[in-house]
Amino acid sequence: MSRNGRGRGAWRLGMLIAVGALAVAVAATAGQARKGQGGYTLGLSNTLVGNGWREGQLCAFKAQALASGKVDSLRIAHRATDTAGQISDIRAMISAGVDAIIINPSSPTALKPVAAQARARDIQVVFIDQYVSAPGVYNASNDQVAYGRLGAIWLFKKLGGKGNVVEMRGIAGVPADTDRHKGFQQALKAYPNIKVVKSVFTGWQFAPGAKQMLDILNSGTQVDGVWTSGIDYTVVDAFKTAGKPYVPVVGADNYGFVRQLKSRFPTFQGAAVTNPSSIGGVGAAQAIRLLDGQKAPKWIKLSPDVWTWPQDKASINKYARAGAPADASAQLQIPPWTTYTLKQYAACKGP
Amino acid sequence: MTSATVTAHEYRGVPAWRRNLRLHGWTIGVWLVLLAMVPYWRSLSQQSFEFDIQALAIDALPLCFAAMAQAVVVISGGIDLSVGSLMGLMNVISAKHMIGMSFREAILFSLVILLLSALAGGFTGLVITFTRIPDIVVTLGMLFVWYGVGLWVMEIPGGGAPQQFYDLALGSIGSTQVPGAMVIVFAALVVLWLPIRWLRPGLSIYAVGSNRNAAYLSGIGVARTRVGAYMLGGVFAGLAGLALTATAGIGDPNSGSIYTLNSVAAVVLGGVSLLGGVGGLIGPIAAAYILTLSKTILLIRGTDPNYAAVYQGILIILVVVIGGLLSRKTHR
Amino acid sequence: MSGDETPLLAARDIAKQYGSVLALRSADLSISAGEIHALLGANGAGKSTLVKALSGVIRPDAGTITVSGTSVRPSSPRQAARLGLSPVFQDPALVPDLSVAHNLRLTGTSVEAVRANLASMGLQLDLRELVDDVPLPMLRMLDLARALAQDPQLLILDEITAALPSDLAERVFTVMRDWRERGRSVLFITHRLREVINTCDRATILRDGVNVATVVPQEGGEAEIVEIMLGPEAARAEERAAELTEQEAPVRAPVATATEAEVVLEADDLHLGSVRGISFALHPGEILGIAALEGQGQDELFEALAGQRKPERGEIRLRGKPLRARHPFDAIRRGMVLPGARCDVSRAGTSRRSRSPAGSHRVSRYSSATTPLEASTWARSGRCTVSFASWPRMGQRSSSSAPS
Amino acid sequence: MTAAPETVERESRLRALQRFLTDNPVVILVLVLVALFVVTEVVNRHQVGEPFVTWNQISTTLLVAAPLGMIAGGQTLVMLTGGVDLSVAYTATAAAFAISWQGTNGTLEGILAGLLVGVVIGLANGVGVGVFRVNPLVMTLGTSSVIFGLLSIYAGQAFEKRIPDVVTTLGRERFHTYLPANTLLWAAVAAVLVLGLSYTGYGRMLFAVGDNPLASRLAGVRVWQVLVAVYVLCGVLAALGGLLLVGFTNNPDLSLATSYLLPSVAAVVIGGTSILGGWGGYGGTILGVLILTVLGSLLTLLDAEEWERQVIYGSIIIVLTAIYARATRSD
């Protein structure tokens, strides 16, 4: 059988090409000049796109970089990907020679090795939104356990410690969801007469969340209060669609929800637990401070506020702008860290 | 030799170079494109060659295997929309159990994973051949099923594997600069694919994809071959899942989802015809590297990497359009 | 020939039903060792179904098959080959995207034997060639060479000569005779009675799924065989038709010459694919027949006439004006209709389904559906009002015999 | 000289039933839908002691199903031609964004902009598939990648949005308590699709093209025009789906319609339209949409874990298609 020449030929060809690729690549390795100290280059890595919160985080990051006046250019990896993809993005940023990387981590543990690689090259690393513990890195995050707990406590108190509650979670398996659920459970322990009649995952999507609420309401289940992981204003609307009286709802500081708090009072009452997406700006500010050689806290931990109408009229009025997208986070400024103007934020343009 | 009136059908045949161009031209072209990208990439990068080539090899590892998994199935005339969720499932199973293991146990367990994923792929193939529902529908259903099972195995990302297991993918071979991740890909190609590629099982896969009827009349067990192709695809998906565990370091039930469509893209760019029977695995590997590298290049340049999605979409369409025009021209 | 010894192959009461169509009612076939046996019958008589049952492509609903006295149930072509039954089907069983050598390896055939067989037929072929590149007659011969290489007891040839030029067909007959001399048998299916009378020892004739007779062809002659094949009445009708044409032919010829100035359709030096310089003229009231073996360019010619493909050179004129159709639509608008009969261009393989048996099944259904009348009605009205009267209703599925 | 094929005189009862189902595949789906309603009713009575099947619930089911019904409508047309459109979700999302951006200029502008987006994307798909013969899977995968990229780049930038009141009314209001506005629009579209597919030349050409493009072409059908038109229609229907969705949520976001992509394919497949093209229809798809919607409600009521939901969802696609294929296979 002398007829397998084609197969061997193809294989030989493949090997040749592979070896050739390596050779050319080696030859192309030019000198690596470390870039000058003209200005900083910041990187942002984010793996979840498509919701207003993450878009707000990106805009805050860009606006803060611009407002600081110390940043020359940005490398932004704001795309839907998984942990492996995020690691790959971070490596690409290392190759691009950034001075600091701000990371919204997709996993609390998996990014440690690549963070160490960055630190070994003297690149500052700041994790935002979710806490990551690793040597030499900085954190800026909202306290998600507290987020779950504070909102739940408000709700349970509002119900007088007794009644049927629906828990509307986010995406199964995402750390923030797990942490919030943990907080919710902590609060639940103190209120034995609160019954969780339904616990559903909304996937952090507004339309399916509303559908689930409609189903629950139509099933005839007695619902006295709803805790949501931020899928809030469509849930409130679901009561209206179903023709049922409003019950207290806990949501996030989304514009849509905040506007409802204000405009539908007193028939509808709820609480917005702040989870500012401006954390992106905080991360940028923290990184710039580190690059400037100043000291910065290892962990900027933001405790959520609970806004209710009319008690927190001032905050709500400050942020509840009419034209803003309903799913964007309302709390735009986190003093003293963010220094951008609202206009810079709205423009969503970096340096 | 009776050469009385034969002249009319003394068939001259197609010149060898044209045949080879048709068979291997695309693969060579894809590798040349990859080669052409390398100098540009290096000129942008601020890091050493070792770091960059390592990074590329590691980043592309899961996609390489996903593309190989998809390629085998597509060559057999099917399409597997469940590649991503199957690799996600294997990712969580491995990460859940390997975390406390020694290196030796982890390697043995990897074999169990490959067996499991082969069975899972075989199951998909069996459902397809048994019910005679089109591949795309069954694998669409299996996409949900494997994802669901993955969530059941591990709801929250976590787990891990022994450090030496990570080092298999993250390290280099000995003291050379050859990245382990790249060696693994080619080793899998050599061990799993090439031995069967030119023997009856491999040829059967091509035959079934090329013309199912002719293959059946040639005496090939069509159903058996298709199930076999899905099993082999399953093995590669299992490797992709293990690659995710090694490169991401954890198990994540959601991690596989982006690989299904990317694997289709890599297969198309790699010269495998979606009609089946044409192409190989070497082309899709190059395509996987190209897709990974183009994203990296955009990011290093400071372009919004979402343009990568735009460019990738346009590129896939253009490649198929041009490929279609070329094949139409050379075909007659 | 036949004698009392156990026949090499005996099939009894074979029946097969597809959906509601009874393809074979009860067919018997007995082939002795060392004979060339013809299987005859009109279209739809069940010849192909019987061949498929013998070669394991389909499983008959009823009946028994014995090979040298042992009862067998071939369930796949492969198993049939093991029993010593090697078929050469109407469509070559060669995979288009693989090379010839790989096709041989796929079936576990010895390359040397195939090459020797080809050489003995005076043919040469580079086995690295892709099957897709090899012309159809050559593929038939290759398929035959491959079947011979398996050294079968019974060689089954299903209309192998239909697509072969006469010299190649001659070589096939030589092979058949050689095979008989070696004491092996051949089952030969063809439409050409001349070939049967010249070559075959016995012939079994099928009609409507039942075998009606087994004859010795040399003794009966064509007329008798036709009568058995079609039944007495149909055969007489056929005869009358033949007489009529003969009578009318001389009458019609002058008509054509008289209106020579008026040409409806004219092809002038057409070049396209294997069509090399075809010219003809068609006059009003005339029926022009085009005779060719399978794959000799008639497909391309019809495609050009239908506006499906553009000729490389030459011109088609309709009533004197050139037809520059870029689409069948243009041709239909000008009053030229190709009633979809040639749409199963299986080797062109434009879509996955046109390659699969299920696809070709459906193709044949549509061929009859798109009648010239409908199409021309549509063309005249110029709007999309064509009524595909026999398109299946929604939700209706065709039976698919595709191996999964 | 053709011998007439013999037809079988006597049919067994089973075969007769099979034949009936073959001609009326919709019957199976109706049975499944009714069964689902019954199971949900039983579950709900057991759990809460209240009936589930109320006018209110039926009305809500329709309200929730309408956007999917729109998107799956386009998907049905495309799948009848043997294609598949994976860009419907992002087309719907893009249309929603267009409506909310142009909504600041006026109601009509907003709606027209949304539909225009659908037309443009559909045109791109149609030209790719019909003229350049790109595999539909690859083509629509490519365009959806492009749309998604462009949306991610530009969606974050535009800050001022306004959803026209007509759109929100269409999206979530009900007339006479039980009649959702979006269902009226859906019913109108459904009537056009069902009647159009069976009674117009274009409808029949769709089946013809899906069944055998080459034969259709030889019969004088300009296949590429049919394909372009079908993808444009699909784009417009997806845009209408986006319109209803954005009316329902009152705010566009990038993931607005992503959860409708695979269900749109699933609904069509469950509805008995062949993914290979050539047979099926919108009637089945409507039932498929309703089945998926009721199934979702049932799983919510059952407090199903996310993994159970996914596994059941996947299994039902396979099992229903298998049952369907088995029942309608004539041999």
DSSP A144-183: HHHHHHHHHHHHHHHTTT-EEEEEEE--TT-HHHHHHHHH
- Positive/negative CA dihedral, A317, A323, A329, A333: negative
* Residues A149 and A116 both lie in one domain: no
Residue B134: closest CA among D213, D204, C358? C358
Would the CB atoms of A96 and B151 count as touching at under 8 Å? no
The CA-atom distances, in angstroms, between C8 and each of A226, A306, C70, C159 are: 83, 93, 10, 22
Locate the chain D residue with the closest alpha carbon to A206. Answer: D249
pLDDT for the residue numbered C309: 79
Residues of A within 8 A of D44 (CB-CB) are 219-220
pLDDT for the residue numbered A190: 93
Which of C208, C234, C260 is the last residue in one of the domains? C234
Residues of D within 8 A of C394 (CB-CB) are 197-198, 207, 279-281
Residues of D within 8 A of C353 (CB-CB) are 212, 276
| Number of CB atoms found within 10 A of residue B7's CB | 8
Cβ of A234 under 8 Å from any chain D Cβ? yes
Question: Of the spans B10-24, C48-62, D222-236, which averages the highest pLDDT?
Answer: D222-236
Cβ of C106 under 8 Å from any chain A Cβ? no
* Residues A121 and A222 both lie in one domain: no
The CA-atom distances, in angstroms, between A278 and each of A40, A128, A331 are: 20, 10, 7
Residue C218 within any structural domain of the chain: yes
pLDDT for the residue numbered A284: 93
pLDDT for the residue numbered A81: 83
Can you list the positions of beta strands (E) in C43-197? 62-67, 70-72, 85-88, 154-158, 185-189
Closest approach of A252 to chain D, Cα-based (Å): 16
Q: In whole angstroms, give the CA distance from residue D81 to residue D91.
A: 20
Q: In whole angstroms, give the CA distance from residue A213 to residue A166.
A: 9
Residue C312 within any structural domain of the chain: yes
Locate the chain D residue with the closest alpha carbon to C326. Answer: D222
Q: Per-residue pLDDT for A21 more than 60?
A: no
pLDDT tier for residue C2 given thresholds of 50, 70 and 90:
very low
pLDDT for the residue numbered C292: 66
Name the region of D86 (left: φ>0; alpha: ψ -120 to 50; beta: rest).
Answer: alpha
Q: Which residue has the higher pLDDT, B112 or B217?
A: B112
Q: In whole angstroms, give the CA distance from residue B189 to residue B148.
A: 30
Per residue in C111-161, pLDDT (tens digit) is 889 988 888 888 888 888 888 888 888 888 898 999 888 888 888 988 888
Residues 6+ apart with CB under 8 A from D173: D180, D181
Residue B324 phi/psi, 5° resolution?
-65, -45
Tokens of D150: 């462009």
Residue A272: closest CA among A206, A314, A330, A215? A330
Task: Determine which of A338-347, B54-63, D87-96 has the lowest per-residue pLDDT on average.
Answer: A338-347
Q: Per-residue pLDDT for C282 more than 80?
A: no
* Residues A288 and A261 both lie in one domain: no
Locate the chain B residue with the closest alpha carbon to A91. Answer: B55
Locate the chain B residue with the closest alpha carbon to C132. Answer: B331
pLDDT for the residue numbered A7: 44
Q: Which of B299, B301, B311 to mutate to test the interface with A (most CBs of A within 10 A)?
A: B299
Q: In whole angstroms, give the CA distance from residue C306 to residue B38.
A: 51
Cβ of A323 under 8 Å from any chain B Cβ? no
Residue A321 within any structural domain of the chain: no
**Which residues span the domain enclosing A175?**
144-273
Q: Strand pairing of D179-180 and D174-175? A: antiparallel
Mean pLDDT of chain D: 85
Residue B195 within any structural domain of the chain: yes
**Which residues span the domain enclosing C267?**
251-390
What's the domain count of chain A? 2
Q: In whole angstroms, give the CA distance from residue D97 to residue A50.
A: 12
pLDDT tier for residue C373 given thresholds of 50, 70 and 90:
very low
Question: Mean of the pLDDT values across residues C315-330?
Answer: 79
Residues 6+ apart with CB under 8 A from A62: A74, A76, A348, A349, A350
Per residue in A53-80, pLDDT (tens digit) is 888 899 899 999 999 889 988 999 988 8
* Residues A85 and A128 both lie in one domain: yes
* Residues C88 and C219 both lie in one domain: yes
Q: In whole angstroms, give the CA distance from residue A29 to residue A21.
A: 13
Whether residue A310 has a cis bond before it, omega within 30° of 0: yes
Closest approach of B132 to chain A, Cα-based (Å): 33
Residue C198: closest CA among C213, C218, C219? C218
Per residue in D145-158, pLDDT (tens digit) is 899 889 887 776 65
pLDDT tier for residue A31 given thresholds of 50, 70 and 90:
very low
Q: Which residue has the higher pLDDT, B11 or C396?
A: B11
Closest approach of B111 to chain A, Cα-based (Å): 22
Task: Give the rounded distance of the alpha carbon of B31 from its chain centre.
Answer: 15
pLDDT for the residue numbered D6: 44
- D93 in Cβ contact with D258 (< 8 Å): yes
pLDDT for the residue numbered C271: 84
Task: Determine which of A167-176, B6-15, B43-52, B127-136 has the lowest per-residue pLDDT on average.
Answer: B6-15
Q: In whole angstroms, give the CA distance from residue C83 to residue C66.
A: 10
The CA-atom distances, in angstroms, between C276 and each of A249, C273, C296, C312 are: 81, 8, 10, 10
Looking only at Cα atoms, what is the longest distance across chain C? Answer: 70
R_g over Cα of chain A: 24
Mean pLDDT of chain B: 88
Would the CB atoms of D303 and A206 count as touching at under 8 Å? no
Per residue in A213-253, pLDDT (tens digit) is 988 888 888 999 999 998 999 999 999 888 889 999 999 98
Chain A, 72-101: which have a CB under 8 Å from a chain B CB? 73-85, 87-89, 91-97
Per residue in D164-214, pLDDT (tens digit) is 888 988 888 888 878 889 999 999 999 999 999 888 888 888 888 887 777
pLDDT for the residue numbered C75: 82
pLDDT tier for residue A34 given thresholds of 50, 70 and 90:
very low
* Residues C260 and C376 both lie in one domain: yes
- C47 in Cβ contact with C103 (< 8 Å): no
Residues of B within 8 A of C95 (CB-CB) are 206-207, 210-211, 214-215, 218, 277
pLDDT for the residue numbered C354: 28
Q: What is the CATH number of the domain that holds A251?
A: 3.40.50.2300
Strand, coil or helix: B301: helix
For residue C14, the surrounding DSSP H or E stretch is strand C9-18
Cβ of C221 under 8 Å from any chain B Cβ? no
Would the CB atoms of C395 and D331 count as touching at under 8 Å? no
Would the CB atoms of C20 and D329 count as touching at under 8 Å? no
Q: What is the CATH number of the domain that holds C74?
A: 3.40.50.300
Would the CB atoms of B302 and A96 count as touching at under 8 Å? yes
Task: Determine which of A193-197, B236-240, B278-282, D254-258 has the lowest per-residue pLDDT on average.
Answer: D254-258
Q: Which residue has the higher pLDDT, A52 or C116?
A: C116
- C111 in Cβ contact with A3 (< 8 Å): yes
Residue D205: closest CA among D190, D187, D222, D181? D222
Task: Determine which of B39-43, B167-171, C19-23, C310-314 has the lowest per-residue pLDDT on average.
Answer: C19-23
pLDDT for the residue numbered B129: 93
Cβ of A1 under 8 Å from any chain C Cβ? yes
Q: Which parts of C259-313 fold into alpha helices (H)?
A: 298-305
Q: Side-chain half-sphere of C93: how many Cα atoms within 13 Å?
A: 24
**Bridge partners (DSSP) listed for residue C207:** C210
Q: Strand pairing of C21-31 and C70-72? A: unpaired
Per residue in B183-202, pLDDT (tens digit) is 999 999 999 999 888 888 99
Q: Strand pairing of C210-215 and C70-72? A: unpaired
Strand, coil or helix: A341: coil
Would the CB atoms of B155 and A17 count as touching at under 8 Å? no
pLDDT for the residue numbered D213: 77
pLDDT for the residue numbered D244: 94
What's the domain count of chain B? 1
Residue C370 within any structural domain of the chain: yes
Q: In whole angstroms, give the CA distance from residue C39 to residue C355.
A: 27
pLDDT tier for residue C281 given thresholds of 50, 70 and 90:
confident
Q: What percent of chain B has pLDDT over 70?
A: 94
Q: What percent of chain A has pLDDT over 70?
A: 88
Residue B105 within any structural domain of the chain: yes
Q: Note if the pTM is more than 0.80.
A: yes
Residues 6+ apart with CB under 8 A from C87: C51, C54, C55, C77, C80, C147, C156, C157, C158
* Residues A241 and A339 both lie in one domain: no
Residue A314 within any structural domain of the chain: no
* Residues A128 and A186 both lie in one domain: no
Q: In whole angstroms, give the CA distance from residue D313 to residue D293.
A: 11
Cβ of C294 under 8 Å from any chain B Cβ? no
- B194 in Cβ contact with B186 (< 8 Å): no
Sheet holding A124-128, edge to edge: A71-78, A40-46, A100-103, A124-128, A138-142, A299-302
Q: Side-chain half-sphere of C84: how many Cα atoms within 13 Å?
A: 13
* Residues A269 and A150 both lie in one domain: yes
Whether residue B253 has a cis bond before it, omega within 30° of 0: no
**Bridge partners (DSSP) listed for residue A45:** A77, A103
Would the CB atoms of D322 and B131 count as touching at under 8 Å? yes
Nearest to B49 among A29, A83, A96 (CB): A29
Mean pLDDT of chain C: 71
Name the region of A300 (left: φ>0; alpha: ψ -120 to 50; beta: rest).
Answer: beta
Would the CB atoms of B299 and A20 count as touching at under 8 Å? no
Nearest to D250 among A51, A208, A326 (CB): A326
pLDDT tier for residue C399 given thresholds of 50, 70 and 90:
very low
Question: Mean of the pLDDT values across residues A35-63?
Answer: 81
Closest approach of A18 to chain C, Cα-based (Å): 26
Q: Which residue has the higher pLDDT, B6 or C264?
A: C264
* Residues A108 and A197 both lie in one domain: no
Q: What percent of chain A has pLDDT over 90?
A: 42
Q: Per-residue pLDDT for B50 more than 70?
A: yes
Q: Which parts of chain B fold into alpha helices (H)?
A: 16-44, 49-75, 83-98, 103-131, 135-153, 163-170, 180-188, 194-197, 200-210, 212-217, 222-248, 259-269, 282-301, 306-331
Name the region of C183 (left: φ>0; alpha: ψ -120 to 50; beta: rest).
Answer: left
Locate the chain A residue with the closest alpha carbon to C100. Answer: A3
pLDDT for the residue numbered D13: 73
pLDDT tier for residue B283 given thresholds of 50, 70 and 90:
very high
* Residues C225 and C289 both lie in one domain: no
Nearest to B306 among D152, D269, D311 (CB): D152
Strand, coil or helix: C316: strand
What's the domain count of chain C? 2
Q: In whole angstroms, give the CA distance from residue D121 to residue D231.
A: 8
pLDDT tier for residue A286 given thresholds of 50, 70 and 90:
very high
* Residues C215 and C269 both lie in one domain: no
**Which residues span the domain enclosing B231?**
27-326
- A231 in Cβ contact with A206 (< 8 Å): yes
Which of A233, A256, A273 is the last residue in one of the domains? A273
Q: Per-residue pLDDT for A158 more than 70?
A: yes
Residues of A within 8 A of C105 (CB-CB) are 1, 3
Locate the chain B residue with the closest alpha carbon to C89. Answer: B217
DSSP B207-224: HHHH-HHHHHHTT--HHH
Q: Rounded to the nearest 5 degrees, what angle is found at the Cα of B126, between the Cα atoms of B122 and B127?
A: 120
